[in-house]
Amino acid sequence: MLSRHFTDIAALRLAMVGLVLAVAGCASTGSAPGGADGSPGGQPAAAGARQGEVPPEALTMYEQAVAAMASGDFLDAELRFKEFLLQYPGYPGAHVNLAIIHVNNDNDEDAVAAVDAALAIDPDYAPALNQLGMLHRRNGNFPEAEAAYMKAVTVSPDYALAHYNLGVLNELYLQRLDSALQHFERYQQIVGGDEQVEKWITDLQRRVAASQRTANISE
């Protein structure tokens, strides 16, 4: 029963990672085309602001690409982001959104290239580091995934989605319940109100406590 319960939770949690990531990639409709900031709250990424004032025509192009991505028209979104980058190459968020599109198309090779392009512009761009972690996790490179996620939360401690993904990685792949609980709790502190994650936190608290009781008995 417990095994089946955990399997069901695992399947749901993995699905949610992809869903949150896809939504996050489209959540950059704010003041600058930083793009794909990854936070479930939809806050625009800050990288665009470091490039100076954003021309209105650039913002319009970017928002059109975001709208196409949000509607699920990834082909149109890909074309629009590529057109945007031809004219405004200094915004890493557009590359990250392209990476997300490539992942949706099961094209990891182009996704890696897009993430690399984003990190070449800004090596500390948290959404790109988070996406790099996702790519490593997809390919079973768990230590590399953890390193990328951890760098994301180091350079941007309130970057919610990287904490979320660290929770998933630690619980389902690295079997570190304490660390998973810590990152899910940090995610919840940042975004608040995520009922599903709150259920996961409650479940992890119960399992961590049970593990500690077992360890005390063994001693």
DSSP 70-116: HTT-HHHHHHHHHHHHHH-TT-HHHHHHHHHHHHHTT-HHHHHHHHH
Structural domain boundaries enclosing 125: 2-218
pLDDT tens profile 8-43: 444 444 444 443 343 333 333 333 333 333 334 333
pLDDT of the residue at 58? 86
pLDDT tens profile 179-208: 999 999 999 999 988 999 999 999 999 999
Q: pTM for the complete prediction?
A: 0.78
Q: How many residues appear in the chain?
A: 219
Quote the number of domains for the chain: 1
The domain that contains 127 carries what CATH number?
1.25.40.10
The amino acid that residue 45 corresponds to is: A
